[in-house]
Structure formats: structure tokens, C-alpha cells
Chains A and B, each alone.
Chain A
Amino acid sequence: MKLVCLGLNHETAPVEVREKFALLDGALDRETECLVSSEDVLEGVVLSTCNRTEYYAVVNGGSGVAELEDWICERREYRGLREGFFYHYEARDAAEHLCRVASGMNSMVLGETEIFGQVKKAYKRSLEGGATKSVLNKLFQRAFGVGKKVRTHTAIQEGATSVAGAAVELAEKVFGRLQGSSVMVIGAGEMSRKTARALQSRGASSVMVTNRSFDKASDLAEEIGGRAVPFSGWEEELAHLDVVIAATGAPHFVVKPQHVEAVRRKRKFRPLIMVDIAVPRDIDPEVGEIEEVYLYDIDTLQEMADEARKRREEQLRLCEEIIREEIDKASLPAVND
């Protein structure tokens, strides 16, 4: 009896290969069923996310990863190059790999938390389909425990690693909780959408979108559940805002000191955070000289995100230690035998 893991992810295979192996929810159950229906496979869990497809299986002594790889490629009707696209682990290495995946250490965004839920969901499906028994049950339960421990005992998930996340972090530093705060997005591009979404996810309740093309502003406003404001009227709204995100393609400054000066009294000098993610910049740097205005440009946000990524990478050694210790402590059949 042998524990094996075979898979491919964003680090080993390009998207055009990954998409051939990706499985939708409905197909996952069938795939797991087929996997364990094979004579040599005793247990199995199939994990498929946008960045990875992995097969965890307990196989009879004679079978191995080569057979499993052939089987998978055949099912996906994949006849292209395989060299270097697949990785495989056996016994303890497979267990440690699963722990890394569940802890977000193997994710595209290091330390992201979504993967934990995805692994849990994949395991639950297999469990409910009767595809797991003692080996994988114990292994996955242990991996979930390790994943939680890694997240609580290290800083693997601390700090924002994206520009949008960094903007949210700064807004929280100024306002504390963002519940009930008002946001205006100037520009209706992808970055505006991402940042507005990130702020909404932390509680920002009122989002206004303005753009030179009102149609585009309306589209984005509709998509994110906000309100479109004509470009000619954005200055009037400034009096009620907490956060301004500027991301237009304008070749000159859109927001100037006089715009903010005009509404300071009306705002009762409340703090205002302005995030300029446009290049060339949309907000005149002199706006940041106004006492209650906290202005950040794309370089600052990028720097914050880079530093957070670096800090997370520094945590990897500690995470690996936890995983080793936890696997050592566990009594896992086909792993520690």
C-alpha cells in the first residue's frame, strides 16, 4: 500500500495545459469515482482549482505514479508534451505536500486562505462518495490541523500582497473599520473595479463610480452594486466621501488641491484617503499636503505589497518546521510506516 500524489499547477504547467486537466464540480465526482474503481487504487481524492489539479491516491504496492499519469492523460485525451508539467510525491513527501497546499504555501499568492476551503471541499466530496478510507481520512484531517496551525503560529497570511489589498490596509489604518464608509472610484477600469471590490469586501457601503464615459461608469456601478455619477458632478460628492480611488487614463491631474480645499469646511476636516493607481498620476501630489488628506500612489501600494510578500516568504522556513513536526507526531498509515 502506497500513498501517492500526482498533479500539475501554475508553477509547472502553462494555463493552456492546466485548463485541459481542470475539472468542474460536476466532473469531480465522476473523476473520483473512476479513480477508485480501478483495481489498484484503494482510496482517492481529486482536487481541482484554477491553479492546480491534484490526485491523491492510495495504491497497491505494484502501481505507481507513472500508471496514474497515463490514466489521467488518457481520460483528458491529452497527447501533448508532459515533460516537467507533472510533479509527483510519495508517502511522507506526499503528506507534506498536501500540508503545504492546505496552508497556502504552494499557492500563487503565498499564504492565501481560499485554498484551505477548496481542499476541504474536495476531501468532503470524496468522503461522501465513499472514495476515502482510513489512510486518506487520517491524512486529510491531519493536513487541516496543520493548515490551521501554520496560519495561527506564523505570519504567512499577514499583510496585503496586492495593490487593491494594500489600499484597503491603508484605509483601515486611517478609518479603523470600513463599515459604512463612502468610496468614489474615478475611472472605470480593471484596477478601479478590483480596488472597489476589495473595499466593499471590508464593509464599504456606498460606492460611487464616475468616468468620462458615463456608460462605462454605469456598467461598473451596476456590476459592483454602486451608483454612477456624471463626471461633471464628482467634485460635489467629495464632501461626503471617505475614500477616493483614482484610476483614469487622463494625461493630466484630475484631482487638484482646490477641489479638496473647496469642501474642507463642509467635511468638518474629516480624514480623507486618496488612492492614485493611475500612471500618469490622476491626483496632484500637492493634495497630499492638505492636513487631513492621506494620499498614496501606485508605487507606495506596490512597495507595500512587495514587502508583505517578502515577509510571507520569510515565514516559509517556520511553516516547513511546523509541517515536519506535525507529520512526525502523527501516526499516519502509508506515510510514517
Chain B
Amino acid sequence: MVMGISWVVIATVLAAAGGAVGVVALRSDKVGRAALICMALSFGAQLMALGWRGELRGQCPLGDLGEICLFMAWSLTFFYLVTGTTYRVSLLGVFTAPLVFLLQVISLIPGAFEKNVVSAESIDAWREAHTSLSVLSYGALALAAVAGVMFFVLNYQLKARKFGGGLVHGMPSISRLVQAMARIAVVGWLILTAGIIAGLLMPKGDFGIHLMVATITWVLYAVLLGVYFVRGLPGRQLATGLTVLFVLSLVVFAKL
């Protein structure tokens, strides 16, 4: 347990370092690679921690609050690293790292990780696929929301003509951010689609409120993205939609 939890602590410290290094880099008007390296190392530590929980459970580690937060942080870091080179997201790390840090801090709250975990005797592959793909999709959708927050910041600064400081200089352009929001959200939506399909293939009687909420979320994202790609939307409305939808669905899932 001590060895396992220490991976979570290491991942949390590295995420905090990633955020701090990113802010320092921004203040000096430079978007350095140090934040990216910290996040990559944090990702490694998250994998070790998830491996520890997975071994304990004998299935996908999504059985308690600690594991869900950790999986979510891992998913967020994964997409951050994957999209990094394309969208100059070492800066996105400045916005992502605090979220990853927060999720991991929650997982470290005493009691978040169940102590006496009973290893699963049998595994339903569709259920495993449904839960893991759903949480993975939320990582991508969270990153789209983070890009949305970045858009709000840059949009405000450009509209209000506040050009001082490293933030404007280190940010990707407005067009790039809009593109990033849409593309990452599409990836998240596609993974969510796969997660819902897996949910529908679960044994009868397992359809729960979770699946219903996930389906409603899927429909809302589909409408938002559909409107954006077909009719077009101002960047601010897309950012608002992605941020509100993500926060709303997170709140609903937390209440369930």
C-alpha cells in the first residue's frame, strides 16, 4: 500500500512541478520544455499507480473515488502528451497541470482509495470497456474544456487589448485554439461513443443511470459539435459550450 500510494504522491508532485515550471516559463516570455517533461514523468508515475490498483482489483481500477480521479488525471495527461506537439501545448500544460494536480490530490484524501480491496473473481469485458472508455473520453473532453478556458483568457486579452505579460506571447493563436477545442472534443466524443456502445452490450439489467447520463452527455456533445461543423459557431460560444458541458456532466456524475 505504502509503495503503491507513493506513486500517486510522486505523480502529484510532478504535476505541481509541471504547472509551476510552466508559469515561470510564461513569465519569462518563453514556453519551455520543462513543463512537458514534468508531465511526461507524472504520466509514468500515474501508470505505476494505476498498475498497483489494477493488480489489487484484478480488473480496471475504477472502483472508488481515488481510482476514478487517478484514471481521469492519467487520461488528461495522456491527451495532453498526445496533442502536445501539434498544438504547442507545453503552454496547455500550464492550464492542464493544475487540473491533474487537483484530481490527484483528491485521490490522496484518506479514504479515497479503498484499503481492503477484494480481487474480482470474474470480469465482464463489456463493463470493463464501458467504464474505462468512458473515463478516457472524459480526459479528452476535459482537455477540450481546458483549451476552452485558454481561449477565454486569450480572447479577453485580445479584445481588451491587454498585451502585456507572457501569457499572450506564449499562447497559441485564436484559430489554433478553436481548432484544438473542436478536434480534441471530437476525439473525446468518438471514445465516448465506443464507451456507450460497450455499455449497451453489457448483460441486461446492468443498464443503469450512469449509462443514461453518459448517453445524454453524448447527445449534447453531438449537437454542439454538429452545430459547430455544419453551421459554424463563434469561438467563444464553442468554448462556453465545451466548458459548461464538461462541468455539468462532471457534477452530475459526481452526484450519482
Contact = CB atoms under 8 A, between A and B. Distances in A.
Q: Does B bind A?
A: yes
A27 B47 CA distance: 71
A292 B234 contact: yes
B175 interface: yes
B158 A294 contact: yes
B159 interface: yes
Contacts of B164: 307
Contact of A291 (B154, B173, B175, B236): B236
A304 B175 contact: no
A269 B175 contact: no
A292 B235 contact: yes
Interface in B156-174: 158-159, 161, 163-164, 168, 171-174
Contacts of A296: 161
24 contacts: A155-B29, A173-B168, A173-B171, A173-B174, A174-B158, A174-B173, A176-B173, A176-B175, A265-B231, A265-B232, A267-B232, A268-B231, A269-B232, A269-B234, A271-B174, A271-B175, A271-B235, A291-B237, A292-B234, A292-B235, A294-B159, A294-B174, A296-B161, A304-B163
Interface in B128-173: 154, 158-159, 161, 163-164, 168, 171-173
Given A271-B175, A304-B163, A173 B158 contact: yes
Interface residues of A, number: 21
A288 interface: yes
Contacts of B174: 173-175, 271, 294
Contacts of A291: 234-237
Interface string A14-35: 0000000000000000000000
Interface in A62-102: none
Contacts of A304: 163
A172 B234 contact: no
Most buried by B among A155, A268, A296, A300: A268
B159 A288 contact: yes
Interface string B198-239: 000000000000000000000000000000000111111100
B71 to A, nearest CB: 34
Contacts of B234: 269, 291-292
A271 B154 CA distance: 13
B121 to A, nearest CB: 54
A190 B70 CA distance: 60
By size class, the interface of chain B is: 20 to 34
B127 interface: no
B176 interface: yes
Nearest to A242: B175
Contacts of B175: 174-176, 271
Nearest to B238: A269
Given A173-B171, A267-B232, 6 more contacts: A176-B172, A268-B232, A291-B236, A294-B158, A294-B174, A300-B161
A307 B165 CA distance: 12
A30 B142 CA distance: 69
A271 B179 CA distance: 12
A120 interface: no
A291 B163 CA distance: 19
Contacts of A155: 29
Nearest to A155: B29
A191 to B, nearest CB: 20
Interface in A221-265: 265
B173 A173 contact: yes
Interface in A282-303: 288, 291-292, 294, 296, 300
Nearest to B171: A173
Nearest to A296: B161
Contacts of B231: 265, 268
A212 interface: no
Contacts of B158: 170, 173-174, 294
A268 B173 CA distance: 18
A202 to B, nearest CB: 13
Interface string A165-203: 000001011111000000000000000000000000000
A78 to B, nearest CB: 46
Contacts of B172: 176
Contacts of A174: 158, 173-175
B233 to A, nearest CB: 6
Contacts of B29: 155
Contacts of A307: 163-164
A273 to B, nearest CB: 9
Contacts of A294: 158-159, 174
Nearest to A292: B234
Nearest to B175: A175
A271 B172 CA distance: 14
A270 interface: yes
Contacts of A292: 234-236
A174 B168 CA distance: 11
B173 A172 contact: yes
A294 B155 CA distance: 9
B231 to A, nearest CB: 7
A292 B237 CA distance: 10
A40 B167 CA distance: 58
A9 B55 CA distance: 76
A100 to B, nearest CB: 24
Given A173-B168, A296-B161, A300-B161, A269 B233 contact: yes
